Amino acid sequence: MWEDAITSEQPEPPAGERRPPMGNPVVETIQQLGQTTTPASESNIFCMTIIGQVEGHLVLPPQNKTTKYEHLIPQLVAAEQNAKIEGIMIVLNTVGGDVEAGLAIAEMISSLTKPTVTLVLGGGHSIGVPIAVAGNVSFIAETATMTIHPIRLNGLVIGVPQTFEYLDKMQERVTRFVTSHSNVTEEKFKELMFKTGELTRDIGTTVIGTDAVKHGLIDQVGGIGQALRQLNMLIEARRQSAGTAAANARGLTQ
């Protein structure tokens, strides 16, 4: 209906000029992607984007740009099973979101057997931090930021002691995952998390590109080129390892 309304308001083309039909794939590509040709879909690398807010068990308002975890998990399962896919690139520009949904995505990424590289562009805040460190190698753009803060709760609280204990355990889950998948120590991570005076209405720390690498959260500063180069190196190393294992197996059977 929206396209029909737009089309009805457009002036008729001059005489002798033919307008491409709306079903034309070139026109649809221009409308969706702003270009006349789509990127090649045949690749041995699967690229997954995590943008906006990570949506969990509750549906967010329609004006929010979200990434639904129930969409990402089947894609990761399919990528793991697809023999044509040899590596997975995860690109993040997220403000965070649902803690359990973010941890589920991070656990899925860390448990993949295929090489994975994560790249933080723009921001990888809040629960985006565990996702950013879940890959084999992590990158962050020089101008990208990561906000580290304690878990927060919105809404009605029935039992304060029980709720605090639940939040404390969930906070430990996040801390344990981040410290076990990166080079940051637990003491340093908690120091960044509970730092006061950094944010105006909260406690926590915002780290930029090189600082994230200095603290041990992220492995390297770089962009898409460096991340793809690293992923291809991991893929080649996996091929060589598989070839050596196959040769050894043949030698044992002879």
Rounded Cα gap, residues 39 and 36, in angstroms: 10
Report if residue 205 sits inside a domain: yes
Quick one: tokens of 22?
């709306």
pLDDT in tens, 35-88: 666 555 678 899 999 999 898 888 888 888 888 888 899 999 999 999 999 999
> What is the number of domains present in the chain?
1
Give, as one character, the DSSP assignment of residue 127: T
**Nearest one of 106, 156, 155, 142 to 126, comparing CA atoms:** 106
The predicted-structure confidence for 168-210, as pLDDT tens digits, reads as follows 888 889 999 999 999 999 999 988 888 876 654 567 788 998 9
pLDDT, tens digit, for every residue of 3-42?
A: 444 344 445 555 555 554 556 776 776 666 666 665 556 7
Reported pTM: 0.78
**Burial class of residue 120 in the structure, from the number of CB atoms within 10 Å of its CB (0-12 exposed, 13-18 middle, 19+ buried):** buried
**Taking a C-beta distance cutoff of 8 angstroms, is the pair 59, 19 a contact?**
no
Whether 118 is in a domain gets the answer yes
Decide if 208 is inside a domain: yes
Q: Which pLDDT belongs to residue 198?
A: 61
Q: Which residues of 217-252 are buried (b: 16+ CB within 10 A; e: fewer)?
A: bbbebbeeebbbebbbebbeeeeeeeeeeeeeeeee
Does residue 70 lie within any of the structural domains?
yes
Indicate whether 129 belongs to any domain.
yes
Active site residue 41: no
Among 125, 149, 181, 215, the one annotated catalytic: 149
pLDDT band at 133 (very low <50, low <70, confident <90, very high): very high
By residue range, what is the domain housing residue 100?
49-243
- 8 Å CB contact between 123 and 93: yes
Q: Which of 125, 126, 182, 215 is catalytic?
A: 126
State the CATH number of the domain containing residue 208: 3.90.226.10
- Please, what is the average pLDDT of the chain? 83
Domain membership of residue 35 (yes or no) is: no
Strand locations in the chain, DSSP E? 45-55, 66-68, 87-97, 116-124, 137-140, 145-148, 205-208, 220-221
Asked whether residue 103 is domain-assigned, the answer is yes
Residue 209 lies in a domain: yes
Based on the residue annotation, tell me whether 181 is a catalytic residue of this protein: no
